[in-house]
């Protein structure tokens, strides 16, 4: 295995979250009734013409800047010609030789903490196609297909990486970081399961130390980050296996079969489409002024890498906490709001990454929709701080806040969860526990200090967890002398 | 009006501006005018066959609406009540837009083209949709999938094309004005053949939204009318920036009627020698040279000049136009609308069968030419090279226009040819546009104005102008027409006409 090195480049398509489609005013909202979000233009009816949505360009510039790309001063659209029933004009308006942006880079980290840099060859805009829905026919009738054109003309950004990726794991880490960066720019939710982020992978292998690239295969039908990684692992093994067996690699397009966990040949290079690209005569060339780019740059939010560096400097959090907190803009926003209201970063981070994340994951709720707002969480943290509730009780309080949407104080009052810090009130319980566990008491007196912990636990149990643990500790020690 | 032994006025044969006077003076109602044209259609349409679709009720309804406005003393837009014909490659909501193709035979657009919307704003009376060569590819209407339109001057001859239906309707009195489209001469050449005025505006002056595309970088909509004044009125109505067409130019437009002054003194006109080749038809040459004399007499300076790359215009056109067409016509696949061949087993077979049977021979020829020109390995040698030569052709004109206000040439190399004369020989058919297609490649305005008869058939002269210099062309055309009266010639069965 180590004799060989994989060379991987990724082509990522991201659906841009504009209100209108790229060349017409139809809506882009996901999940509408079939063929409800169409108009003569995106249906490609005879006589209609595309008109570029400037918002798409603005979003494209945002991503390009976030990926450190150079912006083209002069860009244009081209027609990519091929026949497919989900493509109403039988050509796709895309960008060929003068893309929106080029020569960028993305820095990312793999799980082992190693830093990598991947070049971005180009970023270009294009229109999405519709969706085919295949149906089995009724009894004796042949199967048939329907077309939903709602997605037709939804704006896409294609981001083509340089062949700088060297393993399936790196590919996955690159995608993760790319997704995070794009989410930060606010132009897409990047949901692979809804198709708002899609990925094709080009992969070849070569003997380690060899400069010349091996013959590549393009892998399609990758529907999750996990699929990308698995398909690449499979494909790298397959290609190495062929080389080891003295066989040639054929340039081809292969499809990932998730169920069988294999890639299968779709078409060879000879069968590849000739797209007959030519300049789109219905659109005028796009001139992007430096002042437009600067306006977009100024409005760009803090990007993940900058944020991570700031968290390290400002909050002194462990690297793992920083990575998780910054993985999505929503979580980072939540955390920062929390720290603003309760300036103990580590405590806020612990609660956000621990109990709150556990509750969110279990309930499949996004942080943006969480009923416990940062202010509510900080109230709870303050109540822990002033001894009103113990940390342990607070976990239960948070859970109740999460499900009911009530404030911390309300939950604590309703359930009578206020911590007992009155020694007088606790003495009785302490005495009962001592009386009830003579053996343990004896053990403690014989020098087994760990026995004390058991007795504390018993007091806590009897008070429903509400006793102040350190007070209980002191009281027991005092009693047992 | 009909009594007293006077010759009855043929309202259908008057110009729009004359009819407007009559409408405003209440000497005729819009409904009477509409009926006059509909009667004329009943009389001659069987012979001329200009229309694919007629909308009698729609036309009469609109005419009645105009009359109500007139009765209420409302001010009306200049083309209110004027009967119009629309070439059948423009969308009018609710009426079929066939493009004279089997593949779109039953397609009814759910929207109006911008130019149609503008005519509706004018309260023009739209009579119906006229015949053309399939998808505007041709010079005679013989490539229509349905029938060939006859030249009103001689039913054995073609009306020219591809806007042959529109030109024939205006000449035959079955429409007062018409819209055509011009990709390589498709307004000007039929205007010349039918003895009417036809203008292709500067690329970008008129919106293409709703014009079914043939070659997007060349197509323009323009007027076919009985005189230059009507041409200016129609141009006024249809021009202007349209946010739905990115190639329409955001530019203030003048009132084109303000250029209709009978004076060309001191104007400089160039005669590009490449447009007068040694083999040019004698009659055509004579007519154009007579036009030159007229203009000189009127005080214009006419001088020979050269457009050295003229010889490349035809090959360049037949690379660029088919290349764009091959892509524009890809959408006709039987999936969403239009003709779908029955009995296919899978979608590729359905595409193939629908397109094989849905398109005619000329359209298929051009799709193949264009597909080839754009193919990997040929793109640079053909399409890209053609784009470069197109720039050279444009530069020729730029240089000429440093010296001249306009260029003058024959519109077509001949008068209307006989039906069937060229259908077997595509190249000869293509040569019919030899003098017109350079203006499309360069994006320039061109107008064909009637210049007399040769052997009983009309022939036009073409003025080509600088970008957005339609006003200059209208002024020259107007002065020419005022001094010659050639626009008053009417086909043999319609003696009289304007003012006589």
- 8-state DSSP, A356: I
In the stretch 328-347 of chain B, residues with CB closer than 8 A to chain A read 330-331, 333, 335-337, 347
> What is the residue whose two structure tokens read 């003194």?
B265
Mutate one of A22, A35, A42, A46 to test the B interface: name it (highest B CB count within 10 A).
A46
A429 and A405 fall within a common domain: no
Domain termination site, one of A415, A446, A465: A415
What residues of chain A lie within 8 A of the CB of B383, using their CB? 278
Mutate one of B330, B342, B377 to test the A interface: name it (highest A CB count within 10 A).
B330
- Reported as a single tens digit per residue, the pLDDT across B449-478 is 999 999 999 999 999 999 999 999 999 999
Query: What is the C-alpha to C-alpha distance for residues B93 and B452, in angstroms, rounded to an integer?
Result: 39
What residues of chain B lie within 8 A of the CB of A277, using their CB? 374
B109 vs A135 pLDDT, higher one: B109
Mutate one of A35, A42, A49 to test the B interface: name it (highest B CB count within 10 A).
A49
* Res. B1: pLDDT tops 80: no
Contact (CB<8Å) A47/B109: yes
pLDDT tier for residue B6 given thresholds of 50, 70 and 90: low
Nearest one of B492, B484, B459, B464 to B194, comparing CA atoms: B459
What residues of chain A lie within 8 A of the CB of B110, using their CB? 40, 45
pLDDT tier for residue A32 given thresholds of 50, 70 and 90: confident
* Res. B490: pLDDT tops 70: yes
A342 and A321 fall within a common domain: yes
- Reported as a single tens digit per residue, the pLDDT across A383-409 is 998 888 888 889 999 999 999 999 998
Q: Which of A46-55, B8-17, B437-446 has the least mean pLDDT?
A: B8-17
Stated as kind and residue range, the H or E segment containing A266 is strand A262-268
A306 and A289 fall within a common domain: no
Taking the Cβ of residue B209 and every Cβ of chain A, the question of whether any pair is shorter than 8 Å is answered with: yes
- Reported as a single tens digit per residue, the pLDDT across A316-365 is 999 999 999 999 999 999 999 999 999 999 999 999 999 999 999 999 99
Contact (CB<8Å) B375/A48: no
A179 and A232 fall within a common domain: yes
Q: Which domain holds residue A438?
A: 423-480
* Res. B495: pLDDT tops 50: no
- 8-state DSSP, A84: -
Contacts (Cβ under 8 Å, ≥6 apart) of B342: none
Domain termination site, one of A415, A436, A470: A415
pLDDT tier for residue A265 given thresholds of 50, 70 and 90: very high
Hey, what are A468's tokens?
A: 């102040």
A375 and A284 fall within a common domain: no
Is residue B114 within 8 A of residue B207, CB to CB? The reply is: yes
Q: Is B2 exposed, middle or buried (0-12, 13-18, 19+ CB in 10 A)?
A: exposed
HEC string for A10-44: EEEEEECCCCECCCCCCECCCCCCCCCCCCCCCCC
- Complex ipTM, two decimals? 0.95
Contacts (Cβ under 8 Å, ≥6 apart) of A296: A58, A61, A62, A65
- Reported as a single tens digit per residue, the pLDDT across B326-358 is 999 999 999 999 999 998 889 999 999 999 999
Contacts (Cβ under 8 Å, ≥6 apart) of B246: A49, A50, A51, A52, A282, A283, A284
- Active-site residues of B, by number, are 87, 162, 186
A230 and A84 fall within a common domain: yes
Query: Shortest CB distance from B209 goes to which of A47, A79, A147?
Result: A47
- 8-state DSSP, A165: B
In chain A, % of residues over pLDDT 70: 100
A21 and A79 fall within a common domain: yes
In chain B, which residue's Cα lies nearest the Cα of A92? B327
A427 and A404 fall within a common domain: no
- 8-state DSSP, A249: P
Contact (CB<8Å) B330/A83: yes
* Res. B299: pLDDT tops 80: yes
A61 and A113 fall within a common domain: yes
Domain termination site, one of A237, A272, A293: A293
Mean pLDDT taken over chain A: 93
Please state whether beta strands B197-200 and B220-225 pair in parallel, antiparallel, or not at all (unpaired). Answer: antiparallel
Is residue B411 within 8 A of residue B452, CB to CB? The reply is: no
A333 and A198 fall within a common domain: no
Please state whether beta strands A115-127 and A101-109 pair in parallel, antiparallel, or not at all (unpaired). Answer: antiparallel
Contacts (Cβ under 8 Å, ≥6 apart) of B431: B314, B413
Is residue B215 within 8 A of residue B325, CB to CB? The reply is: yes
Bridge partner list, B418: B157
A367 and A427 fall within a common domain: no
Is residue B191 within 8 A of residue B30, CB to CB? The reply is: no
What number is the average pLDDT over the span A226-236? 96
A123 and A208 fall within a common domain: yes
* Res. B498: pLDDT tops 60: no
CA distance B99 to chain A (A): 10
DSSP codes of every residue in A196-224: SEEEEEEEEEEETT--S----EEEEEE-S
φ, ψ of residue B462 to 5 degrees: the values are -110, 130
Q: Which CATH architecture has domain B11-309+392-488?
A: Alpha-Beta Complex (3.90)
Contact (CB<8Å) A45/B110: yes
Number of domains in chain A: 3
Query: What is the C-alpha to C-alpha distance for residues B431 and B412, in angstroms, rounded to an integer?
Result: 9
What residues of chain A lie within 8 A of the CB of B208, using their CB? 49
Query: What is the C-alpha to C-alpha distance for residues B114 and B120, in angstroms, rounded to an integer?
Result: 10
Query: Shortest CB distance from B327 goes to which of A43, A47, A91?
Result: A91
* Res. B496: pLDDT tops 50: no
For chains A and B, count residue pairs whose Cβ atoms are closer than 8 Å: 97
Is residue B184 within 8 A of residue B153, CB to CB? The reply is: no
CA distance A274 to chain B (A): 6
What residues of chain B lie within 8 A of the CB of A79, using their CB? 327
Q: What angle do the packed helices A374-385 and A408-415 form, to 10 degrees?
A: 50
Contact (CB<8Å) A147/B208: no
* Res. B133: pLDDT tops 50: yes
Nearest one of A467, A472, A470, A465 to A392, comparing CA atoms: A465
pLDDT tier for residue B500 given thresholds of 50, 70 and 90: very low
pLDDT, position A418: 80
CA distance B437 to chain A (A): 18
Domain boundaries, chain B: 11-309+392-488
This prediction has a pTM of 0.91
We report the CATH number of the domain holding residue A463 as: 1.10.10.410
């Amino acid at each position: 295995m180590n004799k060989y090195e994989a060379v991987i480049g990724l082509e990522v398509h991201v659906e841009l979250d504009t209100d209108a489609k790229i060349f017409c005013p139809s809506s882009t909202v996901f999940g509408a009734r079939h063929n409800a979000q169409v108009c003569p233009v995106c249906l490609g009816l005879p006589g209609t013409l595309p008109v570029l949505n400037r918002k798409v360009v603005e979003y494209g510039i945002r991503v390009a800047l976030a990926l450190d790309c150079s912006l083209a001063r002069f860009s244009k659209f081209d027609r990519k010609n091929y026949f497919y029933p989900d493509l109403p004009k039988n050509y796709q308006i895309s960008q060929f030789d003068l893309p929106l942006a080029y020569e960028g880079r993305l820095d990312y980290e793999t799980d082992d903490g190693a830093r990598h840099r991947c070049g971005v060859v180009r970023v270009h805009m294009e229109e999405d196609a519709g969706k085919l829905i295949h149906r089995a026919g009724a009894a004796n009738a042949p199967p048939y297909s329907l077309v939903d054109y709602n997605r037709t003309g939804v704006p896409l950004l294609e981001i083509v990486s340089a062949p700088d990726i060297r393993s399936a794991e790196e590919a996955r880490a690159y995608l993760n970081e790319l997704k995070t960066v794009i989410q930060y720019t606010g132009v897409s939710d990047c949901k692979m399961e809804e198709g708002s982020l899609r990925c094709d992978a080009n992969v070849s292998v070569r003997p380690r130390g060899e400069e010349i690239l091996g013959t590549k295969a393009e892998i399609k039908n990758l529907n999750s980050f996990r699929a990308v990684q698995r398909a690449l692992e499979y494909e790298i093994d397959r290609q190495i296996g062929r080389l080891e067996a003295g066989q040639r690699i054929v340039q081809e397009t292969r499809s990932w079969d998730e169920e069988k966990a294999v890639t299968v040949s779709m078409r060879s290079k000879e069968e590849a489409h000739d797209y007959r690209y030519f300049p789109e005569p219905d659109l005028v060339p796009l001139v992007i002024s430096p002042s437009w780019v600067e306006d977009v740059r100024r409005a760009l939010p803090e990007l993940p890498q900058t944020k991570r560096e700031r968290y390290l400097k400002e909050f002194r959090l462990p690297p793992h906490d920083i990575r998780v907190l910054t993985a999505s803009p929503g979580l980072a926003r939540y955390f920062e709001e929390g720290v603003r209201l309760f300036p103990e970063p580590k405590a806020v981070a612990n609660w956000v990454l621990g109990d709150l994340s556990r509750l969110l994951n279990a309930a499949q709720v996004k942080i943006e929709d969480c009923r416990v707002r940062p202010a509510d969480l900080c109230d709870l943290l303050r109540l822990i701080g002033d001894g009103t509730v113990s940390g342990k009780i607070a976990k239960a309080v948070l859970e109740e806040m999460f499900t009911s949407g009530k404030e911390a104080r309300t939950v604590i009052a309703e359930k009578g969860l206020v911590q007992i810090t009155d020694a007088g009130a606790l003495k009785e319980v302490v005495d009962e526990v001592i009386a009830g566990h003579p053996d343990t008491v004896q053990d403690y007196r014989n020098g087994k200090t760990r026995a004390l912990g058991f007795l504390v636990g018993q007091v806590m149990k009897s008070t429903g967890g509400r006793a102040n643990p350190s007070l209980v500790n002191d009281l027991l020690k005092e009693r047992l002398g | 009006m009909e009594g007293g032994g006077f010759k009855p006025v043929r309202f259908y044969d008057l110009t729009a501006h004359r009819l407007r006077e009559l409408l405003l003076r209440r000497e005729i109602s819009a409904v009477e005018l509409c009926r006059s044209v509909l009667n004329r259609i009943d009389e001659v349409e069987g012979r001329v066959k200009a229309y694919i679709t007629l909308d009698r009720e729609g036309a009469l309804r609109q005419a009645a609406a105009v009359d109500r406005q007139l009765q209420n003393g409302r001010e009306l837009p200049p083309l209110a009540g004027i009967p119009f014909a629309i070439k059948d490659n423009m969308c009018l909501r609710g009426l079929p837009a066939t493009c004279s193709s089997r593949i779109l035979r039953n397609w009814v657009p759910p929207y109006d083209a911008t130019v149609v919307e503008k005519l509706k704003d004018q309260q023009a009376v739209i009579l119906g949709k006229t015949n053309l060569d399939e998808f505007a590819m041709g010079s005679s209407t013989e490539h229509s999938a349905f029938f060939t339109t006859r030249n009103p001057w001689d039913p054995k001859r073609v009306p020219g094309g591809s806007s042959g239906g529109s030109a024939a309707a205006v000449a035959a009195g079955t429409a007062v004005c018409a819209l055509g489209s011009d990709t390589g001469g498709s307004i000007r050449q039929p205007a010349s053949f039918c003895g009417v005025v036809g203008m292709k505006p500067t690329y970008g002056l008129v919106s293409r939204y709703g014009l079914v595309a043939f070659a997007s970088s060349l197509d323009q909509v323009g007027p076919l009318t009985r005189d230059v004044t009507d041409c200016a009125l129609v141009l006024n109505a249809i021009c202007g920036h349209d946010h739905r067409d990115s190639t329409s130019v955001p530019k203030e437009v003048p009132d084109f009627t303000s250029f209709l002054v009978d004076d060309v003194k001191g104007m400089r006109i160039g005669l590009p020698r490449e447009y007068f080749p040694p083999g040019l038809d004698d009659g055509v040459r004579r007519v154009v040279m007579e036009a030159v004399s007229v203009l000189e007499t009127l005080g214009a300076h006419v001088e020979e000049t050269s457009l050295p790359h003229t010889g490349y215009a035809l090959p360049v056109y037949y690379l660029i136009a088919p290349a764009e067409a091959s892509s524009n016509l890809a959408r006709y696949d039987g999936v969403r609308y239009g003709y779908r061949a029955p009995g296919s087993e899978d979608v590729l077979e359905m595409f193939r069968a629908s397109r094989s049977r849905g398109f005619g021979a000329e359209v298929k020829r051009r799709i193949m030419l264009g597909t080839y020109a754009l193919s990997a390995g040929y793109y640079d040698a053909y399409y890209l090279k053609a784009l470069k030569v197109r720039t050279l052709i444009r530069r020729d004109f730029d240089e000429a226009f440093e010296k001249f206000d306009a260029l003058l040439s024959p519109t077509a190399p001949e008068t209307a040819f006989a039906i069937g004369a060229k259908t077997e020989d595509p190249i000869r058919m293509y040569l019919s546009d030899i003098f017109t297609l350079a203006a499309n490649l360069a994006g320039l305005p061109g107008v064909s104005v009637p210049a007399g008869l040769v052997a009983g058939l009309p022939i036009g002269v073409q003025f080509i102008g600088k970008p957005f210099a339609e006003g200059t062309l209208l002024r020259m055309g107007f002065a020419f027409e005022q001094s010659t009266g050639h626009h008053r010639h009417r086909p043999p069965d319609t003696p009289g006409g304007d003012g006589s």
